[in-house]
């Protein structure tokens, strides 16, 4: 079964993938208790739903326009939107950044601004509904965007972009850059005044601008891995405590980016979903091992949405 996903990779990758999958399942299982609390107490807050919805739609259209009209790469466009939002409208920077991931979808798939707007509305609604859970888990915003995008693309898109799994010589540079990106983003937002959106946007801009120019044909893949891992770096320290574990998360991100190259290409939010799964995997493993004294009773997730 694992050979289907890792047809020619090193034999060690199969145990890594198995461990990551189990960890992700554990992370979801632990979060189930928080989800039950939300359902029982009805803590979904709708007072800011209209503001969040407008922010998501705005982030989507700005990013989509940058890609479709200006020819900017999706990574750079979304990163710049995140940076601008984090500096100028910090109060809604998080939903704006979520919308930016929707706007990363290829114009060939959306076809028009109407489809992009509709996907943004769906993602904006999901943003409000999912707000009480998975706080501080990197990649949550991208996953929210990915769901909204797929709800539009699956019934309407003819086919997704696809490619082949890169050669083994590309694997280790991708993993290395992803680990470095995750650590960089995490360090910036935990050890400076920058918030997670700004940290990810800065890392994404640098990677998106430089790697495709100064690296060979693998530059775009490296930039994608760097941006995806920057979302892992947005994780709250209450979820993943330090750079060592974030670096491990980045390694997982890099591996998944490489081996999912043939699937759902051009979909906004895919990179964030990869980061989300990797973060949940590491968080689930950490909670299971009780490495930093988390328990179902004593653990309290971050109260503010930052990812």
Q: Which of 72-86, 165-179, 221-235 has the lowest mean pLDDT?
A: 165-179
Question: Are 120 and 57 within 8 A, CB to CB?
Answer: yes
For the residues 290-306, what does the mean pLDDT come to? 53
Tell me how far apart the alpha carbons of residues 209 and 222 are, in angstroms, rounded to a whole number: 11
Q: pLDDT, tens digit, for every residue of 72-118? A: 999 999 999 999 999 999 999 999 999 999 999 999 999 899 999 99
pLDDT for the residue numbered 190: 96
Q: Does residue 14 register a pLDDT over 90? A: no
pLDDT for the residue numbered 307: 66
Tokens 């979060």 — which residue?
31
Q: How far is CA 274 from the centre of its chain?
A: 6
Q: pLDDT, tens digit, for every residue of 53-75? A: 999 999 999 999 999 999 999 99
For the residues 123-151, what does the mean pLDDT come to? 93
Q: What is the mean pLDDT of the chain?
A: 86
Q: Which of 32-41, 95-104, 196-205 has the lowest mean pLDDT?
A: 32-41
Q: What is the 3-state secondary structure (H, E, C) of 226-258?
A: HHHHHHHCCCCCCCCCCHHHHHHHHHHHHHHHH
Band the pLDDT of 302: cuts 50, 70, 90.
low
Tell me how far apart the alpha carbons of residues 208 and 195 are, in angstroms, rounded to a whole number: 20
Q: Which of 12-26, 39-53, 87-101 has the lowest mean pLDDT?
A: 12-26
CA-based radius of gyration for the chain: 18
Question: Are 243 and 154 within 8 A, CB to CB?
Answer: no
Tell me how far apart the alpha carbons of residues 94 and 105 are, in angstroms, rounded to a whole number: 18
DSSP 90: G
78-101 b/e with 16+ CB inside 10 Å = b? bbbbbbbbbeeeeebbbbbbbbbb
Q: Does residue 303 register a pLDDT over 70? A: no
């Amino acid at each position: 079964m694992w050979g289907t996903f890792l047809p020619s990779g090193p034999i060690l990758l199969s145990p890594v993938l198995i461990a990551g999958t189990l960890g992700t399942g554990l992370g979801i299982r632990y979060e189930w208790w928080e989800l039950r609390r939300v359902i029982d107490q009805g803590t979904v807050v709708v007072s800011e739903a209209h503001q969040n919805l407008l922010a998501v739609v705005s982030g989507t259209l700005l990013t989509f326009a940058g890609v479709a009209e200006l020819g900017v790469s999706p990574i750079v466009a979304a990163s710049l939107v995140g940076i601008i939002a984090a500096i100028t409208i910090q109060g809604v920077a998080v939903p704006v950044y979520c919308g930016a991931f929707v706007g990363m979808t290829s114009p060939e798939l959306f076809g028009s601004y109407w489809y992009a707007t509709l996907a943004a509305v769906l993602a904006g609604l999901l943003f409000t509904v999912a707000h009480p859970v998975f706080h501080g888990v990197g990649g949550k915003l991208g996953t929210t965007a990915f769901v909204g995008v797929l709800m539009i693309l699956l019934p309407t898109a003819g086919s997704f972009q696809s490619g082949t799994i890169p050669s083994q010589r590309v694997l280790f540079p991708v993993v290395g850059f992803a680990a470095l990106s995750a650590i960089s983003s995490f360090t910036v937002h935990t050890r400076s005044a920058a918030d997670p959106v700004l940290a990810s946007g800065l890392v994404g801009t640098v990677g998106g601008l430089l790697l495709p120019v100064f690296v060979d044909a693998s530059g775009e893949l490296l930039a994608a891995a760097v941006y995806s891992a920057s979302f892992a770096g947005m994780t709250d320290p209450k979820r993943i405590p330090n750079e060592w574990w974030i670096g491990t998360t980045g390694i997982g991100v890099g591996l998944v980016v490489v081996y999912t190259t043939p699937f759902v290409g051009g979909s906004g939010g895919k990179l964030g979903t990869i980061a989300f799964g990797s973060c949940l995997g590491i968080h689930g493993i950490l909670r299971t091992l009780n490495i930093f004294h988390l328990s179902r009773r004593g653990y309290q997730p971050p109260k503010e949405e930052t990812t």
